[in-house]
Structure 1
Amino acid sequence: MSKINPFKPNHPVSPSMFVGRIFEINALEKSLFQTKNGYPSNFLITGERGIGKSSLLGVIKPIANGEVTSLNYEVFNFISINLVITPRTTLVVLMQLIEKALKRKLENIEKAKDFLNNTWTFVERIKTLDSKVEKTKSSDRLDLIIDDFVYFLAEICKIITNSENEQEPKDGIVFFIDEADSSSQDLHLGYFFKMVTELLLQHGCCNIMFIVVGLPNVVEKLTLSHESSMRIFNHLVIKELSPEYSCYAVDKGLEIGNKINSKITTITSDAKTLISTLSRGYPRFIQQFSYSAFEFSTNGEISTDDVNKGVFVVGGALDIIGKRYYYRAYNEQIKSDDYREVLSIMAESMNSWVKKSEIHDKFNGADHVVTDALKVLSSKKIILKNPSKNWEYRLQYKGFALWVRLFGEREKLYSTDVSM
């Protein structure tokens, strides 16, 4: 009988499978408490793709909504607004998305719903200005749009938090904004957040919180839009899980699987340690390696052999991760095997700084090839130059470095075609 594979390499894990991130959860819960009591605190959450940012949001959202009790505070009762930024999101589109989300959330709060329906007409008025904003990038026009937006948002928040309402008052509004790194320059995202947060306070609205999530390059985008925009955020950088939590993630997955499958699946201690070691604490690797090992297990117990096969065979976990995340950087953007060799040498140090001389010493070809490779890879932002030291470089993302390393190990373990 076939089994349901409980691991989720393609999606954020559910709160029931979530492990670790205690510091981050505590910090976000504290900010919810602060915002509820009139001391708003905003967060920017950054990390590599697949590191678990969206999974962390999946834990915090039900806490903010009151569906799950906080670890350290009383039950919260915020209205949560979920938004995803795309390269096509303009300022007007963003406000329209907020309007639609608010209408859904305020359906049962008559006074707030009536206010929204009767006064949120400014979005309609500025639709005709949208193209002009894009063309002129006029800061005064942006200011007018944002000023109207903040006024109405502040009034709605005051209505829903008013203890004299017939309905139970809300704690405030939390905006969960994902994929912020996808924002275009025309969205003026940093400028938007800086102006909105300042104007909300001027309107006496102190119960709105922004939690913004994105890849590390979102910091640069925010700063280019407004050099002071980062000052309004507490910045959480999501790192890899510890070996203990990596093993616990495997256990949690199997625990859930054993609840839904009629036949029990176990894992040897060595196999679990191997998944933890190979994954280096990257959630996407943990989930994919566990998923693939689960598929290779035929006797109800996942062994180290199942893990190695699941990870390294052609078409296995490494290839799946590569196609999902790294194919373009490794195959399309890099046309030379020599350049890939340079990448492999650098990946031995993960994403730590590596001296050019160290790469030269390990490279099999001519010295000028290393120079050319570093120049090309830097221009494509696959690797970064050390801004404080000459002739030092590193891979931009540790997850990519890990994948390159494991890809090289497969070539040593399996004498076969490892192309994707």
Structure 2
Amino acid sequence: MNPESSPFRPGQPVPSEFFVGRVDEIERLRGMVRASARGRFKIGFVSGERGIGKSSLAYFVRLLSEQESKLAACHVFLGGVRDLKEMLRRTFERLLKESVDKPWHGKIKSFFGDRVRKVGLFGITLELKLNDSDLSSIADDFVSAIVGLCDKLTDRSSILLILDDINGLATSDVFANWLKSMVDEISTSQKHVPLCILVVGLEERRQELVARPPSLARVFELTDITPWSDEEVIEFYRRSFEAGNAEIADDDLAILVRYTGGMPVLAHEIGDAVWRSAQSPKIAQGAITAGIVSAAEVIGRKLLEPQVFSAIRSERYRSILRKMADEPQTMRFRRSELAARLSDAEQKVLDNFLRRMKGLGALDVDPEV
């Protein structure tokens, strides 16, 4: 069918109409935003493995919160940022840009004064020109800056800042100590600070961050995103295909569930590949098979090739990988069962191989085994 009409969005935030599950997590995060609207500062960490839908969840919570109450919000992606000042610059610039076409735009523009300028070659956009002295002042007195901004935004109940993809900042002592100092200042001053900060990242990044000042661990309200249940995967596929006016049999849905493994990133890749393989709105089983094979190739190029294949040079390691691929029906395996299918030479390097794969993020220990 026409790829342009596909309801699936590989690599993009999930449209709100296709969001499924996560009810408890959504309500927990919305509760934090509501509390901030009452003047209570809140800071949370949304964690989960790659492809689990952390960014989509934060985006969805933001949409719901904006519909529910008047708040000023922004979602800033900080990939590659390692410096506190650059984080602050990007965050406030994102907040400024998010305000365009919204009732509070004039007030936030007035707050930054002559630091705002219009730029653009293919259309006008706004740029926040904060010099090093400005950024140092904001970093040193962030709480006062936020309170001053809130006072300016008189028609907004609170500010929501979503700090996403903090890989670079997680190893920054400056960032970690700044977070801890900010929280301590707010808690000891008894100030009303209508601010909610949601940090989004891998659990490993949170562990790296809280290792800097260990006392930072108690600061965050934690929300861990787990894989979808089989029922939630079925709901996602059914809702998505129905949105595209397509029909899929229950038996075929069960096949898609098996290969999805509860991972939203895989669900979108597989669903999109099946859509492209289908010849009519009634999805045939042949399209299911072709779509799964096509999705496997795409996922391999996107995720495994740069992350795993380029890092695995050993022929014995690659041979173990090929033998693992001979059992594609499950997302889990036991070491003893895998070892039984390996040669003596491969068994000698198996433990090193497993450590290497875990280090690359391609494997994880199943906590239920």
Normalized against structure 1, the TM-score is what?
0.72
Count of residue pairs brought into register by the alignment: 347
**Cα pair distance change 1:235/1:109, threshold 3 Å:** same
**Cα pair distance change 1:231/1:249, threshold 3 Å:** same
Instruction: Supply the AA of the counterpart residue of 2:112.
Output: L
Aligned to 2:166: 180
Aligned to 1:335: 313
Q: Is structure 2 residue 169 aligned with structure 1 residue 148?
A: no
Match of 1:116 among 112, 115, 118: 112
Q: Is structure 2 residue 51 aligned with structure 1 residue 33?
A: no
Match of 2:352 among 375, 379, 383: 375
Distance 1:146 1:227 in 2: 21
Distance 2:354 2:160 in 1: 40
Contact 1:49/1:215 (CA < 8 Å) preserved in 2?
A: yes
* CA displacement at 1:338 relative to structure 2: 2.5
Aligned to 1:395: 363
Instruction: Supply the AA of the counterpart residue of 1:330.
Output: V
**Cα pair distance change 1:119/1:231, threshold 3 Å:** farther
Distance 1:216 1:54 in 2: 14
- Give SS of 1:240's match: coil
- Give SS of 1:306's match: helix
Q: Is structure 2 residue 230 aligned with structure 1 residue 243?
A: yes
Q: 1:255-270 alignment to 2 at 5 Å?
A: 255-258=242-245, 265-270=246-251
175-184 or 78-87, which deviates more? 175-184
Instruction: Supply the AA of the counterpart residue of 1:370.
Output: Q
Query: Rg: which structure is higher?
Result: 1
**Cα pair distance change 1:376/1:248, threshold 3 Å:** closer
* CA displacement at 1:45 relative to structure 2: 0.9
* CA displacement at 1:148 relative to structure 2: 2.5
Match of 2:84 among 88, 91, 94: 91
Match of 1:220 among 207, 219, 227: 207
Q: 1:278-293 alignment to 2 at 5 Å?
A: 278-293=259-274
* CA displacement at 1:203 relative to structure 2: 7.0
Match of 2:286 among 283, 305, 319: 305
Aligned to 1:42: 43
Aligned to 1:58: 59
Distance 1:2 1:111 in 2: 45
Aligned to 1:406: none
Question: How big is the alpha-carbon RMSD for the aligned residues of Structure 1 and Structure 2?
Answer: 3.3
Unaligned runs of 5+ in 1: 67-74, 130-143, 259-264, 385-393, 399-420
Distance 2:109 2:78 in 1: 25
Contact 2:40/2:195 (CA < 8 Å) preserved in 1?
A: no
Distance 1:281 1:44 in 2: 21
Distance 2:304 2:6 in 1: 24
Unaligned runs of 5+ in 2: 117-127
Contact 2:36/2:42 (CA < 8 Å) preserved in 1?
A: yes
Q: Is structure 2 residue 184 aligned with structure 1 residue 193?
A: no
Distance 1:153 1:37 in 2: 15
Contact 1:382/1:396 (CA < 8 Å) preserved in 2?
A: no
Distance 1:306 1:35 in 2: 48
101-110 or 294-303, which deviates more? 101-110
Instruction: Supply the AA of the counterpart residue of 1:327.
Output: E
Match of 2:299 among 311, 314, 321: 321
State the Cα deviation string for residues 188-222 of structure 1 (Å, max 9, x = none).
33223222233344371321111111122211231
Aligned to 1:275: 256
Q: Is structure 2 residue 193 aligned with structure 1 residue 206?
A: yes
**Cα pair distance change 1:205/1:176, threshold 3 Å:** same
* Sequence identity (%): 22
Q: Highest relative contact order (Cα 8 Å, sep 6+), 1 or 2?
A: 2
**Cα pair distance change 1:128/1:148, threshold 3 Å:** closer
Aligned to 1:7: 8
State the Cα deviation string for residues 202-261 of structure 1 (Å, max 9, x = none).
371321111111122211231233322232111111111111111111112112212xxx
Contact 1:293/1:310 (CA < 8 Å) preserved in 2?
A: yes
**Cα pair distance change 1:156/1:247, threshold 3 Å:** same
Instruction: Supply the AA of the counterpart residue of 1:170.
Output: R
State the Cα deviation string for residues 344-385 of structure 1 (Å, max 9, x = none).
777878467x55x6654332233xx4343433552564379x
* CA displacement at 1:397 relative to structure 2: 7.9
Distance 2:243 2:253 in 1: 16
Normalized against structure 2, the TM-score is what?
0.81
Distance 2:43 2:135 in 1: 32
Distance 2:86 2:32 in 1: 28
Instruction: Supply the AA of the counterpart residue of 1:171.
Output: S
Distance 1:267 1:244 in 2: 15
**Cα pair distance change 1:298/1:111, threshold 3 Å:** closer
Distance 1:27 1:254 in 2: 29
Contact 1:65/1:78 (CA < 8 Å) preserved in 2?
A: yes
